[in-house]
Amino acid sequence: MRHTRSIAAAAVAACFGGLVLLPSPAQAAKGSVHLYKIYYDSPGKDNRSNSSLNGEYVQIRNTTKSAVSLKGWVLSDKANHKYVFGSYTLGKGKTVTIRTGKGKNTGSTRYQGRRAYVWNNDKDTATLKKASGSKVDTCSYNSTKVDYKVC
């Protein structure tokens, strides 16, 4: 009889212990600002034309329930090429695309203004940090079989 009670007690403890480790529905519903997609191998030849440079990009998505200021946030690759957001707010539920080449910034697309590619065609790591330097998200890829990675 004691053995049965101790097994039952252990099962109850394991169940409650597991529940403590799970996020609450409120935590899960908060969402995040995160790297969503890296299109690292632009279509066609890599000829450094502006349209080819803009064919590689990173998308950042805001799944929170409010707009988030990205002022001072940094997007970088493994070689430490950096794009620093100026005054910019990413709306709730919105995605922003950061293209490598030149163009006119809009609410949904930002341009780094570079004349050379940032994202390696075979492997690299994107890192997103807040202005304070704290890491928000990373996304790595290691493939030449596809041209993009959904993070």
At 63-87, the pLDDT tens digits run 999 999 999 999 999 999 999 999 9
Tokens of 28: 């899960």
Backbone angles phi, psi at 61, to 5 degrees: -120, 140
Separation CA 126–CA 112 (nearest Å): 15
Tokens of 17: 């212990």
**What tens-digit pLDDT sequence spans the chain (151 residues)?**
444 334 344 443 444 444 334 343 444 447 899 999 999 999 989 999 999 999 999 999 999 999 999 999 999 999 999 999 999 999 999 999 999 999 999 999 999 999 999 999 999 999 999 999 999 999 999 999 999 999 9
pTM for this predicted structure: 0.80
Residues 120/79/110/28 CA torsion (nearest 10 deg):
90
Separation CA 122–CA 94 (nearest Å): 28
| CB burial readout 7-33, b (16+ within 10 A) else e | eeeeeeeeeeeeeeeeeeeeeeeeeeb
Nearest by Cα to 94 from 77, 106, 78: 106
